């Protein structure tokens, strides 16, 4: 059964269309991430699921109930906000019990629930403090506690980690993942950070300009992005896009560093009706230094020459900017095996992992 | 890559007199206003304090008479009425204008249509001087050609609305007028406060199932508690200084029923030539202000320390 079902959802303010026909579905216990650049409508979509924004047209189902016109409090949801939205004048305990208090839950039951949640999130020692006396990470926990105590059908997270510093963000990301494993609640998680989406979600909906571009597992989204937007948005550094032309039935040619053409054999035959011009998409980690050993291990590897413009060591890996005609592409290398600036190296491109796009429709071929 | 000379020519180290001038400039600029504040606030306060202990009558003299002026002040029935009026007026005026101001602010905060128009209308009384307010309202209260005459003209010939004509109710006419004048001001401050509340808080309360009134009572209003205090303090010092409003509205009458301390001070000092006792009355007004403002500033200091502790 699906815990959340969204059918052909539209939202517009006056003449401005924010969401243009969203279809989405989350199975019970699933962790769905909505990811996209700012202004893509992901937060609006979440607010509509929560009932904080009205629906222009379409349907939102939570469980087996159509909730289009149901009040937020009756939707059986809990939400964690970007700013945490902890009530500043209440203690942590009061923050957690406020919802139950509003619903008239008996005191004894409230105390029991607070105890359970505080133990789960290890915030027992913070219960009598006010939000102003907590660190960012502690506030984050309390905000999650307030959501968890409800035991809702659906958890909504609105960019919950974007106010934390980089290190804490990684820690809290792990915590959220652990927490989701433990409580197993259906979760919809909005983020603009594709790494967060990749690490947390069981399925990702990549959004752009008010519509879902692709809704699939992280692996499928990463390996087989349906269009150039998804390909470029997911992954850092971004996928390299190289203009290419059809050369024979199973190979393509690209402009090489010296201005001539380099021919690359495709790993799989092209679909029927593929255009003559296309865009080759290669992720930086699928670019190697070519060796015969590599060719033996990965038969689909094709080689070409490219001068190294710039080298950026990050410690764990070294990124190299390579020149290809008037194009710059990025390759990711092992630090021990990294090229040096000014060198011209023979690249090995793993064609079995490469994607081909239609330059007009931007769609995957 | 070519190496470039990255050293930028730096100005020669400033000469000591230039440096000294640099540190002096802020002091020089601030000196006149600091001196003026010091003289007008502290010197004149101390001078008034001294006068209140002197035998000054028409002109300041320096014969020391101890607390005689205070004794005669508190023996005066009119002063007692004035001081009582001050507390009565302050209480009703502050609570009334804050309650109405808060109500208006909450109503406007519901994203009403034409918000700017409403805001301007409600804030407008503040732009009118107390003298004008007092004069206009004195016409409205006037039984012969004010509201009473108007309603009677409509046919309700028994209608009676003559607050300012009765010595027991005249003070309430002053209070109503004061509230009319300043509830817009309270509204503006409260509205600013309401707008500064994180909208996510309201959304969180909505999801938590709190009703609108509960959201305001438990979440929004506690968050803007400091604004209540600020509004109250500003209103109190308005109330204590009340002079022109009463002067234009009732002239302290009927009889002495709406006399205020400021009016009394003015009377003693400039009409009757009793500068010593007038100064004593002025010191009593200062005391009333201090009673209000000292706890407030102590609280501010305490809060700043508390915040400093918690980081």
Ordered structural domains, chain A, with CATH: 2-233 (3.40.50.300), 240-357 (2.40.50.140)
More confident of the two residues B183 and B10: B183
Q: What is the mean pLDDT of residues B274-278?
A: 84
Contacts of A146 in chain B (CB under 8 A): 204, 208
Q: In what order do the strands lie in the sheet with A77-80?
A: A77-80, A154-158, A186-191, A31-35, A203-208, A211-216
d(CA A339, CA A313): 11
User: Mean pLDDT throughout B148-157?
Assistant: 79
Residue A34 predicted with pLDDT over 90? yes
**A91: which chain B residues are within 8 Å (Cβ-Cβ)?**
none
Q: Give B184's Cβ-side CA count (13 Å radius).
A: 17
Report the 10 Å Cβ neighbour count for B186: 29
- List strands edge to edge, sheet with A65-66: A16-27, A2-13, A57-62, A65-66
Residue B64 pLDDT greater than 80, yes or no: no
Q: Tell me what pLDDT residue B157 has.
A: 76
> What's the pLDDT band for B233 if we cut at 50, 70, 90?
confident
DSSP string, A169-194: HHHHHHHHHHHHHHH--EEEEEES-H
Chain B residues whose CB is inside 8 A of the A84 CB are: 200
At A272-307, the pLDDT tens digits run 778 888 999 999 999 999 888 888 888 888 888 889
Residue with tokens 């005609």: A325
- CB–CB of B63/B70 below 8 Å? no
The verdict on A61 touching B (C-beta cutoff 8 Å) is no
Average pLDDT, chain A: 89
User: Touching check for A99 and chain B: CB below 8 Å?
Assistant: yes
Over residues B274-296, the mean pLDDT reads 85
Confidence band, pLDDT 50/70/90 cuts, at residue A157: very high
Q: How far is CA B57 from the centre of its chain?
A: 31
CA distances from B95 to A336, A348, B137, B249 (A): 76, 80, 21, 21
Among A249, A275, A274, CA closest to A263: A249
Helix axis angle, A42-50 relative to B199-207, nearest 10°? 40
Closest to A60 in 3D by CA, of A32, A33, A22: A22
Residues of A in contact with B206 (CB under 8 A): 51-52, 71-73
Report DSSP letters for A270-324, one per residue: PPTT--SEEEEEE-GGGEEE--HHHHHH-TTEEEEEEEEEEEEE-SS-EEEEEEE
Q: How many CB atoms neighbour CB B252 within 10 A?
A: 23
From the CA of B231, how many Å to the nearest CA of chain A?
20
Query: How far does the CA of residue B225 sit from the closest CA of chain A (Å)?
Result: 9
Per-residue pLDDT averaged across A250-277, rounded? 83
Q: Which pLDDT belongs to residue A1?
A: 64
> pLDDT tens, A332-356?
999 888 888 888 899 899 999 999 9
Instruction: State in Å, rounded, how far the first CA of chain A is from the last one.
Output: 33
Q: Are the CB atoms for A265 and A295 separated by under 8 Å?
A: no
- Is the confidence at residue A239, as pLDDT, over 60? yes
Residue A236 pLDDT: 84
pLDDT of residue B5: 54
The answer to whether the bond into B21 is cis (omega within 30° of 0) is no
Does B214 contact A at CB distance below 8 Å? yes
Q: What are phi and psi of B280, to 5 degrees?
A: -60, -45
Using N-to-C axis directions, what is the helix angle for B275-310 and B77-108, rounded to 10°? 40
Report which of residues A252 and B67 the model is more confident about. A252
Average pLDDT, chain B: 83
Cα gap A159→A188, rounded to integer Å: 11
- What is the tens place of the pLDDT at every residue in B101-140? 999 999 988 877 888 888 888 888 888 888 888 888 888 8
Q: Across the interface, do B209 and A88 touch by the CB < 8 Å criterion? A: no
Q: Are B283 and B49 in contact (CB under 8 A)?
A: yes
**Mean per-residue pLDDT, B282-310:** 82
Whether the predicted pLDDT of B13 surpasses 70: no
Please tell me the CATH superfamily of domain B77-310, with its number: MetI-like (1.10.3720.10)
Check if B211 contacts A (Cβ < 8 Å): yes
Nearest of A155, A168, A142, A123 to residue A84 by alpha carbon: A142
pLDDT at position B311 is: 45
A176-197 per-position pLDDT tens digit: 898 899 888 899 999 999 899 9
Q: How many Å apart are CA A305 and CA A324, to the nearest integer?
A: 9
d(CA A122, CA A175): 11
Contact (CB<8Å) A78/B222? no
pLDDT at A38 over 70: yes
Residues A80-89: what's their mean pLDDT? 89
pLDDT score, position B304: 83
B253 has a pLDDT exceeding 80: no
Q: Between residues 128 and 167 of chain B, which touch chain A (CB distance below 8 Å)? A: none
Residues of A in contact with B219 (CB under 8 A): 87, 89
The full DSSP string for B37-102 is: HIIIIIIHHHHHHHHHTB--SSS----B-TTHHHHHHHH-HHHHHHHHHHHHHHHHHHHHHHHHHH
| CB within 8 Å: B203 and A85 | yes
CB A314 within 8 A of CB A320: no
What pLDDT does B11 receive? 57
For residue range B15-35, list pLDDT tens digits in order: 688 888 888 888 889 999 999
Output the pLDDT for position A281: 92
pLDDT at B237: 80
pLDDT value at position B149?
77
Is A72 in the B-facing interface, judged by CB distances under 8 Å? yes
Question: How many CA atoms does the CB half-sphere of B238 hold within 13 Å?
Answer: 24
**pLDDT at residue B10, as a whole number:** 56
Q: What is the pLDDT of residue B94?
A: 92
CB B89 within 8 A of CB B175: yes
User: Residue A222 pLDDT more than 90?
Assistant: yes
What DSSP element (H or E) covers B130? helix B130-141
Give the up-direction half-sphere exposure of residue A174: CA atoms within 13 A in the CB hemisphere. Answer: 5
Taking an 8 Å cut-off on Cβ atoms, the answer to whether A79 and B207 are in contact is yes
B1 band by pLDDT with thresholds 50, 70 and 90: very low
Q: Is B100 left (phi over 0), alpha (psi -120 to 50) or beta?
A: alpha
Q: Are strands A57-62 and A65-66 parallel, antiparallel or unpaired?
A: antiparallel
Distance CA A7, CA A10 (A): 9
Contact A341, A311 (CB under 8 A): yes
Q: Between residues A164 and B311, which one has the greater pLDDT? A: A164
> What average pLDDT does range B179-196 have in this prediction?
90
């Amino acid at each position: 059964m699906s815990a959340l079902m969204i059918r052909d959802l539209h939202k517009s303010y006056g003449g401005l269309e924010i969401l243009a026909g969203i279809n989405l579905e989350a199975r019970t216990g699933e962790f769905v991430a909505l990811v996209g650049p700012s202004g893509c409508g992901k937060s609006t979509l979440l607010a509509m699921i929560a009932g904080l924004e009205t629906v222009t047209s379409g349907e939102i189902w939570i469980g087996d109930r159509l909730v289009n016109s149901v009040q937020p409090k009756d939707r059986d949801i809990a939400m964690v906000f970007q700013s945490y939205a902890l009530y500043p004048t209440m203690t942590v305990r009061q923050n957690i019990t406020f919802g139950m208090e509003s619903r008239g839950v008996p005191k004894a039951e409230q105390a029991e629930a607070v105890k359970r949640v505080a133990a789960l999130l290890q915030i027992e020692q913070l219960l009598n403090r006010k939000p102003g006396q907590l660190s960012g990470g502690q506030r984050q926990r309390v905000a999650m506690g307030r959501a968890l105590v409800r035991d809702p059908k659906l958890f909504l997270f609105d960019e919950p980690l974007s106010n934390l510093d980089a290190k804490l963000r990684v820690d809290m990301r792990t915590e959220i993942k652990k927490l989701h494993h433990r409580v197993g609640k259906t979760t919809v998680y909005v983020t603009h950070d594709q790494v967060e989406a990749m690490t947390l979600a069981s399925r990702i909906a990549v959004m752009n300009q008010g519509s879902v571009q692709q809704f699939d597992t992280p692996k499928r989204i990463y390996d087989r992005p349906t269009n150039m937007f998804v390909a470029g948005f997911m992954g850092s550094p971004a996928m390299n896009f190289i203009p290419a032309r059809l050369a024979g039935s199973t190979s393509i040619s690209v402009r090489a560093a010296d201005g001539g053409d380099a021919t690359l054999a495709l790993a799989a035959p092209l679909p029927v009706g593929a255009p003559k011009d296309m865009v080759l998409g290669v992720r930086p980690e699928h670019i190697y230094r070519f060796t015969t050993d590599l060719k033996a291990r990965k038969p689909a590897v094709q080689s070409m020459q490219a001068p190294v413009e710039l080298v950026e060591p990050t410690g764990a890996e070294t990124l190299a900017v390579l020149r290809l005609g008037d194009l710059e592409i990025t390759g990711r290398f092992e630090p021990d095996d990294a090229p040096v600036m000014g060198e011209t190296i023979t690249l090995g491109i793993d064609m079995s992992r490469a994607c081909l796009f239609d330059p007009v429709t931007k769609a995957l071929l | 890559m070519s190496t470039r000379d990255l050293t930028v020519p730096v100005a020669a180290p400033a000469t000591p007199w230039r440096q000294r001038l640099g540190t002096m400039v802020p002091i020089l600029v601030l000196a006149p206003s600091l001196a003026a504040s010091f003289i007008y606030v502290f010197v004149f306060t101390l001078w008034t304090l001294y006068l209140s202990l002197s035998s000054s009558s028409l002109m300041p003299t320096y014969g020391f008479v101890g607390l005689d002026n205070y004794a005669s002040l508190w023996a005066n029935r009119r002063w007692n009425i004035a001081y009582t009026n001050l507390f009565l007026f302050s209480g009703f005026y502050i609570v009334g204008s804050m309650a109405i101001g808060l109500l208006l602010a909450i109503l406007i905060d519901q994203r009403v249509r034409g918000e700017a128009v409403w805001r301007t209308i409600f804030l407008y009384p503040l732009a009118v001087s107390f003298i004008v307010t007092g004069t206009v309202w004195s016409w409205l209260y006037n039984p012969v050609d004010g509201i009473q005459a108007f309603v009677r003209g409509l046919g309700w010939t028994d209608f009676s609305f003559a607050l300012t004509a009765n010595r027991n109710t005249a003070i309430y006419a002053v209070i109503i007028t004061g509230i009319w004048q300043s509830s817009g001001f309270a509204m503006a401050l409260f509205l600013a406060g309401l707008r500064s509340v994180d909208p996510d808080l309201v959304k969180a309360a909505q999801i938590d199932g709190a009703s609108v009134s509960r959201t305001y009572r438990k979440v929004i209003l506690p968050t803007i508690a400091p604004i209540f205090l600020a509004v109250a303090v500003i209103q109190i010092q308005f109330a204590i200084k009340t002079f022109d409003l009463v002067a234009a509205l009732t002239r302290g009458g009927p009889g002495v029923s709406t006399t205020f301390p400021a009016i009394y001070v003015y009377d003693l000092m400039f009409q009757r030539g009793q500068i010593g006792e007038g100064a004593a009355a002025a010191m009593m007004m200062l005391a009333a202000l201090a009673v209000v403002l000292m706890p407030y500033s102590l609280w501010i200091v305490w809060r700043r320390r508390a915040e400093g502790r918690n980081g």
